[in-house]
Amino acid sequence: MLCSAAGAGLMVGQYFLIAQVLRDAVMHGAGLPQLMPRLWLLLPIIAARAVLLWAGEATSIGAGARVRLAVRGELARHLLALGPVALAGERTGALTVALIDSVEALDAYVARYLPARAASALVPLTVAVAVLAADKLSALILVLAAPLIPVFMVLIGRGAEKLNQAQWARLARLAAHFLEALQLLTTLKLFNASKREAETIARVSDEYRQATMAVLRVAFLSSLALEFFATVGVALVAIAVGFRLLWGEIGFGEGLFVLLLAPEFFQPLRGLGTQYHARMAAVTAAERIAALLARSSLPLVMAAEGPPSTHGGADTSRRRGWRPFGRHDDRGCDAAPVAAPSLAFDHVSLTYPDNRVALTDVTFHLPPGRVTALIGPSGAGKSSIAALLLRFVAPTAGTIRVDGEDLATIDPATWRRCVAWVPQRPHLFHGTIAANIRLGGPDADDAPVARAAALVGADAFIAKLPAGYGHIIGERGAGLSGGQARLVALARAALRDAPLLILDEPTASLDAETEHLVARAVRRLGEGRTVLIIAHRPEAVRHADATLRLQAGRVMQEATAPCA
């Protein structure tokens, strides 16, 4: 805005000097020596305008980059804070569009539209004041013609905004379709459905093309209307100046000065119309971002959770006097020694926001340093118990206690540092074996990674790989067998060295030999830790110290002896 205001003032001065030079040369026959002082004065004005133009561009581009960085960071943090349960109904492709394309759309709004809007207010006002000093009639024509441009811009923009919303909706749908097709390519090929899915993506792509063209047609129509009114405005000024020059009612220098400034009066308004499409795209994208940021995980997140409190290096749980399982330093569960926790569910119930009852009056105890098996059919509530322990959801009623302390009073970040979680289908990222294991301890060097792999028995197959720990695997563990991927996930949990270990079907879908290897790795990893193993069948957890049977969200049986 400052650069626009300063540039407008210099522009008026530049055109005034040009008009004076041409008047003296044409009307008074002034030679070059008489004109040189004003010509030399033009050079620093032109240079200053160039510097201001560069500074304005650099400032706006930098502001756009900072806004994108801030919004994308805030949105990513918010999505991570919501957790997997709250985002279970969202399509990954739609979230990807929100994080990438929607945030990128804000750049044109900040870097282009906002400066254009500021220039459309400052520059015409400066020009109008300068023209008013030279010719009142021309200033009146400019002031009367100026409102036509924003009025038609808004009228056309209303229809374009709806088209833009439809365009973004189709983009999200296209991204979701394409991403899901890539992720499930094997399934599509096996069921001979890849061609049908390709046709679906082609159809959605064509719908997006048509929506984009519809928006562009409206944008071109808007530009045509703006150019028409700007041209008519300049033409009216030129006609008025021309006739009044003929009648001798205005001087040559004043008339030329007005004619030079008239196009500059409409130029910022035309620029604003050009960038108005960027505003519509940004508003539609921002509505999607705002909807995600407005989503609250409540009542999923415990009321006491809030943002992690780190004022003065202490979190909420520490101010309440709780320390992770008897630790006596400030590093939480990242430091030894490890004391296995005692956990107790005290009349816990859980009802999801869609009124689906997951748990009803559940009471049980996970003794410290013991392996407890949680068995039951699908839909019994086993995953809900894991979600409660991982702080992805909060109990509707009842209390979960950790060494006698209410889990709701413990800072979630502190608590999750004390938990290692191995899901039924662990996600391995594209990269090296070592990088995937190191997810459990990002600061760990090669030696702890190797020790963690040796603890769970993963070092045997890793040593046979061509590059060992540097072997590259694909996303979701492509290139490894199911058992090998499970061992890498267990090594990741071992590197985390957390006192609470939660395992979801650790031996499911494995052959007998691999199941034996994984079961032995689980036994090694569970030594000295409180372990909860989730399984469908009692045979899968026959080495557990105690067994809980869950049925329809209720604990139906609790046995302290190992399952037969």
Q: Taking the domains of the chain in order of start, what are their residue ranges? A: 1-294, 343-560
Beta bridge partners, 287, equal none
Q: How far apart are CA 170 and CA 284, in angstroms?
A: 12
Q: Cβ(543)–Cβ(564) under 8 Å?
A: no
CATH number of 343-560: 3.40.50.300
Q: Cβ(112)–Cβ(60) under 8 Å?
A: yes
Whether the per-residue pLDDT at 23 is higher than 60: the answer is yes
What is the per-residue pLDDT across 138-195, written as a single tens digit (0 to 9) for each? 888 888 887 777 676 666 666 566 666 666 677 767 777 677 777 677 677 667 777 7
Q: Which two tokens stand for residue 370?
A: 């013991």
Question: What per-residue confidence (pLDDT) applies to 153?
Answer: 65
Question: What per-residue confidence (pLDDT) applies to 58?
Answer: 92
Lowest-confidence segment of 45-59, 63-77, 277-291 by average pLDDT: 277-291
**Please, which contacts does 524-528 make with residues 24 or more away whose CB atoms are closer than 8 Å?**
524/455, 524/456, 524/457, 525/455, 525/456, 525/490, 525/493, 525/494, 525/501, 526/371, 526/501, 528/338, 528/340, 528/369
Q: How far apart are CA 491 and CA 495, in angstroms?
A: 6
Mean pLDDT of the chain: 78
Give the mean pLDDT of 292-302.
60
| Max CA distance (Å), the chain | 115
What is the per-residue pLDDT across 324-383, written as a single tens digit (0 to 9) for each? 544 434 444 544 335 788 888 888 888 877 778 888 888 888 888 888 888 888 777 888
Q: DSSP letters along 438-459, please? A: GGG-TT--HHHHHHHHHHHTTH
Q: Determine how many CB atoms are found less than 10 A away from the CB of residue 161.
A: 17
What is the per-residue pLDDT across 213-246, written as a single tens digit (0 to 9) for each? 777 777 676 677 777 777 888 888 888 888 888 8
- Classify residue 179 as exposed, middle or buried by CB count within 10 Å of its CB (0-12, 13-18, 19+): middle
Give the mean pLDDT of 64-80.
89
Q: Cβ(63)–Cβ(102) under 8 Å?
A: no
Q: How far apart are CA 505 and CA 499, in angstroms?
A: 19
Q: Determine how many CB atoms are found less than 10 A away from the CB of residue 213.
A: 12
Provide the pLDDT confidence category of residue 559 given band limits of 50, 70 and 90. Answer: low
- Classify residue 90 as exposed, middle or buried by CB count within 10 Å of its CB (0-12, 13-18, 19+): middle
What is the per-residue pLDDT across 199-213, written as a single tens digit (0 to 9) for each? 777 877 777 777 777
Q: Identify the three-state secondary structure at position 358.
A: strand
Give the mean pLDDT of 251-255.
85
Question: What per-residue confidence (pLDDT) applies to 157?
Answer: 60
Question: What per-residue confidence (pLDDT) applies to 298?
Answer: 42
What is the per-residue pLDDT across 44-65, written as a single tens digit (0 to 9) for each? 999 999 999 999 989 989 998 9
Q: How far apart are CA 163 and CA 56, in angstroms?
A: 32
Read off the DSSP letter of residue 119.
H
Residue type, 547: T
Question: What per-residue confidence (pLDDT) applies to 159?
Answer: 59
Q: Which two tokens stand for residue 337?
A: 């020694």
| Sign of CA pseudo-dihedral 74, 77, 82, 87 | positive
Whether the per-residue pLDDT at 285 is higher than 90: the answer is no
Dihedrals phi, psi of 247, to nearest 5 degrees: -85, -5
Question: What per-residue confidence (pLDDT) applies to 52?
Answer: 92
Q: How far apart are CA 436 and CA 188, in angstroms?
A: 27
Question: What per-residue confidence (pLDDT) applies to 498?
Answer: 82
Give the mean pLDDT of 33-37.
85
Task: Say how many residues make up the chain.
Answer: 564
Q: How far apart are CA 299 and CA 129, in angstroms?
A: 59
Q: Identify the three-state secondary structure at position 368.
A: coil
Q: How far apart are CA 490 and CA 437, in angstroms?
A: 9
Q: How far apart are CA 534 and CA 524, in angstroms?
A: 17
**Do 1-294 and 343-560 agree at the fold level?**
no
Q: Cβ(344)–Cβ(400) under 8 Å?
A: yes
Whole-Å CA distances, 516 to 421, 425, 521, 541: 20, 18, 9, 12
The per-type count for the chain, helices as H runs and strands as E runs, is 18, 12
Query: Distance from first CA to last CA of the chain, Å, rounded?
Result: 78
Q: Cβ(6)–Cβ(52) under 8 Å?
A: yes
Dihedrals phi, psi of 249, to nearest 5 degrees: -90, -10
- Classify residue 43 as exposed, middle or buried by CB count within 10 Å of its CB (0-12, 13-18, 19+): exposed
Q: Cβ(518)–Cβ(487) under 8 Å?
A: yes
- The count of C-alpha atoms lying within 13 angstroms of the C-alpha of 195, restricted to the half-sphere facing its C-beta, is 1
Q: Determine how many CB atoms are found less than 10 A away from the CB of residue 400.
A: 22
Q: Cβ(433)–Cβ(488) under 8 Å?
A: yes
Whether the per-residue pLDDT at 94 is higher than 80: the answer is no
Is CATH 1.20.1560.10 correct for 1-294? yes
What is the per-residue pLDDT across 444-484, written as a single tens digit (0 to 9) for each? 888 888 888 888 778 888 888 888 888 888 777 777 887 78
Question: What per-residue confidence (pLDDT) applies to 44?
Answer: 92
Question: What per-residue confidence (pLDDT) applies to 29?
Answer: 81
What is the per-residue pLDDT across 483-534, written as a single tens digit (0 to 9) for each? 788 888 888 888 887 888 888 877 766 677 777 777 777 777 777 788 888 8
